[in-house]
């Protein structure tokens, strides 16, 4: 009697592994062919083959390498056959290896595959592309999301998203946006663009339950970036910032309404994520090259350290906000700093700062929510109610609106002022 090992994989596992390997495979094929659309088509063809073969024979040990080999062979066949291929072939001389190199097997699986993905990140996040195009390209080419998935994440139609992607790829090709890691001199500003795209993807994932997958996608891409650029503390700090934010999400809403940090059930915070995030923050501090993401991650790490709102090291948080404000002196940083100041110097000091930045942030719901909170603590009920109403009018998400409606209701009942006397 012979023992058989069941190597078959189910459809979900195949799709998951394929998506994990997608960005790497597309990135390598773009290097090989110098053409994004050809690379995408090749990988799409490879997926059709994979979903059949992997389910029968099991998932290969190096899925990305398998996809590259399969997609490359398909694309070369395609190139040899089609007129478009012949045109491309002529252009390939400049930007891609020759057909001899393509056929020799030294590209792809064994080549500098890791760098390919990094190159593609810098291409997709090039500052000459508009930010919404950078986000869409990153999710499509590196994240392996379908056009429809990207479209749904940003609440636009599939055809509108398809147009956006076509336009962005046209610009990359026609304007010759390079496919390489920038020089040392340009690296800081170009890396900042990559980081802001990933952070934008993460934050978009906070806007509603239907967009939650954007958060895990952003974390996955940030992990990939950190693996590719282990010496960049700002990249590591962005990952830490996402992990520390993610760790507290279970406590952030109850019954679809936002719960303030003060009232969150801290036992539901994800300890493993907190530990990973805090370890990254500590490693960053040791390097002594602070930057905006490191400071933001450090602030989150201090919050996660505290067992309760009251025992939080508020002076430390205010000091970190002071540093952050000196690097990025924006009204939003001033707003967050003011909220921390309230816990050290009281609501009056915070309110003075909030009133000073109010003209800049008049259309931002969190400014009015923060003012409402301070006014309530000072016992100014009518002014607090007006501020919360203005915040509710401006709020973009259901969770925020529900929270603000609760505040207005409590004020109307007179309960909140009683619960917390003015300090």
Partner 1 sequence: MGQYLLSTYAVEGEVPGAPRGPEEMKAFMERVVALEDEMEATGTFLFGGALHDPDAATVLRSSEGDVVMTDGPFVEAKEHIAGFYIINADDLDAALAWGRKVVDAIQHPIEVRPFRATGRVQA
Establish if 57 lies at the interface with partner 1 (CB under 8 A).
no
Applying CB under 8 A, which part among 3-11, 43-51, 168-176, 358-366 lies near partner 1?
A: 168-176
In a 3-state reduction of DSSP, which class is residue 254? strand
Minimum distance from CB of 75 to partner 1 (Å)? 23
Residue numbers 392-421 binding partner 1 by CB under 8 A: none
Q: Which is nearer to partner 1, 156 or 177 (CB)?
A: 177
Note the residue count of the chain: 423
Q: How far is the CB of 423 from partner 1 (least distance, A)?
A: 51
Which of 93, 112, 178, 415 is the binder for partner 1 (CB under 8 A)?
Answer: 178
128 binds partner 1 (CB under 8 A): yes
What's the closest the beta carbon of residue 161 comes to partner 1, in angstroms? 24
Rounded to a whole number of angstroms, the minimum distance from the CB of residue 177 to partner 1 is 5
Nearest distance from residue 328's CB to partner 1, in Å?
A: 23
Q: Which is nearer to partner 1, 182 or 250 (CB)?
A: 182
Determine the distance from the C-alpha atom of residue 205 to the mean position of all C-alpha atoms in its chain, rounded to a whole number: 8
User: Is residue 192 close enough to count as binding partner 1 by CB under 8 A?
Assistant: no
Shorter beta-carbon distance to partner 1: residue 97 or 347: 97
Number of residues that bind partner 1 (CB under 8 A): 9
Under rule CB under 8 A, residue 155 binds partner 1: no
Residue nearer to partner 1 on the CB measure, 181 or 334: 181
Q: Decide if residue 182 touches partner 1 (CB under 8 A).
A: yes
Q: How many CB atoms are closer than 10 A to CB 175?
A: 10
Note whether 201 and 153 are within 8 A (CB): no
Largest CA distance in the chain: 84
Does 166 engage in binding with partner 1 (CB under 8 A)?
no
* Three-class secondary structure assignment of the chain: CCCCCCCCCCHHHHHHHHHHHHHHHHHHHHHHHCCHHHHHHHHHHHHHHHHHHHHHHCCCCCHHHHHHHHHHHHHHHHHHHCHHHHHHHHHHHHHCCCHHHHHHCCCCCCCCHHHHHHHHHHHHCCCCCCHHHHHHHHHHHHCCCCHHHHHHHCCCCHHHHHHHHHHHHHHHHHCCCCCCCCCCCCHHHHHHHHHHHHHHHHHHCCCCHHHCHHHHHHHHHHHHHHHHCCCCHHHHHHHHHHHHHHHCHHHHEECCEECCHHHCCHHHCCHHHHHHHHHHHHHHHHHCCCCHHHHHHHHHHHHHHCCCCCCCCHHHHHHHHHHHHHHCCCHHHHHHHHHHHHHHHCHHHHHHHHHHHCCCCCCCHHHHHHHHHHHHHCCCHHHHHHHHHHHHHHCCCHHHHHHHHHHHHHHHHCHHHHHCCCC
- In the complex with partner 1, the residue whose CB is nearer, 31 or 74, is 31
Q: Which of 136, 110, 117, 140 has the alpha carbon at shortest distance from 19?
A: 140
Report residue 10 as tokens: 């189910």
Stretch that binds partner 1, among 5-13, 173-181, 316-324, 414-422 (CB under 8 A): 173-181
CB-wise, 103 or 178, nearer to partner 1?
178
Q: Which is nearer to partner 1, 58 or 182 (CB)?
A: 182
Interface with partner 1, residue 186, by CB under 8 A: yes
Q: Of 63-71, 172-180, 237-245, 404-412, which segment contacts partner 1 by CB under 8 A?
A: 172-180
The interface mask with partner 1, positions 85-124, x = CB under 8 A, is ----------------------------------------
Q: Residue 192 Cβ, how far from partner 1 at the closest point, in Å?
A: 16
Site for partner 1 contains 251 (CB under 8 A)? no
175 in contact with partner 1 (CB under 8 A): yes
Distance CA 401, CA 409 (A): 12
Quote the least distance from Cβ 68 to partner 1, whole Å: 24
Q: Give the residue with the Cβ less far from partner 1, 88 or 224.
A: 88
Q: Which stretch binds partner 1 (CB under 8 A): 56-64, 78-86, 170-178, 213-221?
A: 170-178
Does 176 bind partner 1 (CB under 8 A)? Our answer is yes
**Which residues lie near partner 1 (CB under 8 A)?**
126, 128, 174-178, 182, 186
């Amino acid at each position: 009697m012979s023992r058989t090992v069941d190597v078959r994989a189910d459809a979900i596992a195949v799709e998951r592994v394929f998506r994990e390997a997608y960005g790497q495979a597309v990135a390598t094929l773009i290097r090989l062919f110098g053409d994004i659309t050809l690379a995408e088509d090749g990988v799409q063809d490879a997926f059709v083959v994979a979903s059949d073969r992997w389910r029968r024979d099991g998932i290969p040990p190096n899925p990305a390498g398998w996809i590259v080999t399969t997609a490359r062979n398909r694309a070369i066949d395609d190139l040899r056959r089609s007129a478009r291929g012949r045109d491309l072939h002529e252009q390939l001389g400049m930007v891609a290896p020759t057909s001899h190199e393509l056929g020799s097997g030294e590209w792809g699986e064994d080549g500098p595959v890791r760098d390919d993905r990094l190159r593609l990140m810098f291409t997709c996040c090039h500052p000459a592309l508009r930010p919404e195009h950078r986000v869409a390209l990153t999710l499509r080419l590196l994240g392996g999301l379908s056009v429809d998935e990207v479209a749904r994440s940003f609440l636009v139609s599939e055809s509108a998203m398809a147009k956006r992607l076509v336009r962005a790829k046209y610009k990359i090709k026609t304007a010759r946006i390079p496919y390489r890691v920038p020089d040392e001199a340009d690296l800081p500003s170009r890396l900042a663009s990559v980081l802001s795209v990933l952070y934008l993807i993460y934050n978009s994932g906070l806007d509603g339950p239907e967009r939650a997958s954007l958060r895990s996608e952003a974390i996955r891409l940030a992990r990939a970036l950190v693996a590719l650029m282990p010496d960049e503390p700002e990249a590591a700090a962005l990952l830490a910032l996402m992990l520390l934010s993610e760790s507290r999400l279970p406590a952030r809403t109850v019954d679809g309404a936002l719960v303030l940090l003060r009232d969150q059930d801290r036992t539901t915070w994800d300890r493993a994520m907190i530990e990973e995030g805090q370890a990254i923050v500590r490693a960053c501090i040791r390097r002594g090259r602070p930057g905006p993401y490191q400071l933001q991650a450090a602030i989150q790490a201090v919050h996660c350290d505290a067992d309760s709102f009251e025992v939080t090291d508020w002076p430390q948080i205010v000091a970190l906000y002071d540093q952050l404000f000196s690097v990025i002196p924006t009204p939003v940083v001033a707003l967050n700093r003011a909220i921390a100041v309230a816990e050290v110097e009281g609501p009056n000091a915070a309110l003075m700062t909030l009133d000073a930045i109010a003209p800049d942030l008049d259309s931002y719901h969190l400014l009015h929510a923060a003012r409402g909170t301070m006014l309530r603590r000072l016992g100014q009920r009518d002014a607090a109610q007006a501020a919360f109403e203005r915040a509710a009018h401006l709020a973009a998400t259901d969770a925020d609106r529900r929270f603000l409606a609760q505040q207005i209701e409590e004020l109307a009942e007179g309960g909140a002022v009683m619960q917390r006397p003015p300090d």
